[in-house]
Structure 1
């Protein structure tokens, strides 16, 4: 299914006005060879868009000389990569990425991972399901770790794809066909219908241990050195924005939210997050701006230190 040219233009011009890499002194770290970096893009983006992931890749390579950066491409072309961010089963995507990483000789001694928007929770699934090669640090930039309950700006208010997504999710997010074929349905979290969500979600409910405890998931996530979560304080895309820090709506309603530390996920420590928090492994960062909008200076100051 081909996406309309209008959506491509909106994504490039409106959602991802990334700063271009500029000259400047590279970061220095204690290691002569910095760990490799794996990047996973967000909804409607692609691995190598020069205005988004392409710019991030170049910036990291400029600031950290000698680093190997792999920006994940899910598909054979950039258009297919973009389409798959909407229509390719997430569990299948994660399996494909696990295979890519396992076969890449440059990653076998370990790598850092940075996921943008939905790419953040997808890379968390990689950390939980595929510990080899080992992920060192996980940086989630606007990732929706407790899912979403709404698509306020999908992106692009005028895009008919967004209108169709909203209607489909509101009507039948938990039907088998939608769950298996629509990416955003797989992390749709209805706080009013929690039981239906837990029983029907084929991706998020699994990685968040909603139906039982997989000790392997817990052990693998806790093996991270740091789990960095970036929240955008003026986010108009993610609903609720607290999901970027693992918070969510209190069960049974969709008005009041609760922080991670008040959720059952944390108090029951189903993912090991409570233990990681006590060990100082959870890093909560906040930045002014809308979804995925940040300055080059902030990116270099706040995130690059975790990569060296």
Structure 2
């Protein structure tokens, strides 16, 4: 994040960049990113943004990997200060089903590990924050403590929808050769069709879009929903790609 901060400061004259840190040090921030409940992280980030005097008239937000859906939670729940553009770089907006780098040519092994993960994903101390089991959508919706609520799969929240619709632009970046996120289409709100883990649906096929639970259909109709593709693996982009596609189009 330090290199990204310096790059933006170099390219956008006079910009103020607040690199959110959940904790009092880099190591604590890294640990909290994995172990602290997401909803608590969101609360801490909202408080930090509210205290930053330079952001009060509005700010642009960029989230990398899980930061993409975490910042969307901030847009939906914390409208002050106002978020202008939300840029999700490799965020998993429909969650993940699998484990990173599962051997692509070993479907049996991948499915077996998924079943083992399913056993622990919704019980005990394991935080079911954006694990999404397409083989058991009912349990996912009932026991998810973050993503199902964020995507309004159990009940609709008109306030959160209205807050998200205040965005000037919502940018979704998918990595075309992503070996970390399964399925990578989650980065564009796609996912496995219910009941299996082979066939995929797109955002446009989902009730989240057709029934417009979050306002994405309205956002798309007004030209404010953007789908960008980057070659390469998870978060593996060049500085020039970032400048050409993100900085020049949405930050300057």
TM-score range (shorter-chain normalised) is over 0.9
Q: What corresponds to 1:192 in structure 2?
A: 135
Matched, 1:302 2:245: yes
| Equivalent residue number for residue 127 of structure 1 | 75
Q: Partner residue of 1:145?
A: 93
1:155-170 alignment runs, 5 A limit: 169-170=117-118
The corresponding residue for 1:239 is 182
Q: What does 1:1-308 align with in structure 2 at a 5 Å threshold? A: 53-153=1-101, 169-179=117-127, 185-304=128-247, 305-308=249-252
- Cα deviation digits, residues 155-211 of structure 1 (max 9, x gap): xxxxxxxxxx989743211115212xxxxx300000111000001001001100011
The CA distance in 2 between the partners of 1:186 and 1:143, in whole Å, is 13
What is the TM-score when the length of structure 2 is the normalising length?
0.93
TM-score (structure 1 length as normaliser): 0.76
Runs of 4+ in 1 over 3 A off after TM superposition: 165-170
Which consecutive unaligned segments of at least 5 residues does structure 2 have? Answer: 103-112
Q: How many residues align?
A: 241
Q: In structure 2, what is the Cα distance between the partners aligned to 1:275 and 1:252?
A: 29
Mind listing any 5+ residue stretches in structure 1 that lack a counterpart?
Answer: 1-52, 155-164, 180-184
Give how far 1:101 is off: 0.6
Q: Distance in 1 between matches of 2:63 and 2:206?
A: 23
Q: CA RMSD in A?
A: 1.5
Contact between 2:60 and 2:86, CA under 8 Å: does it hold in 1? yes
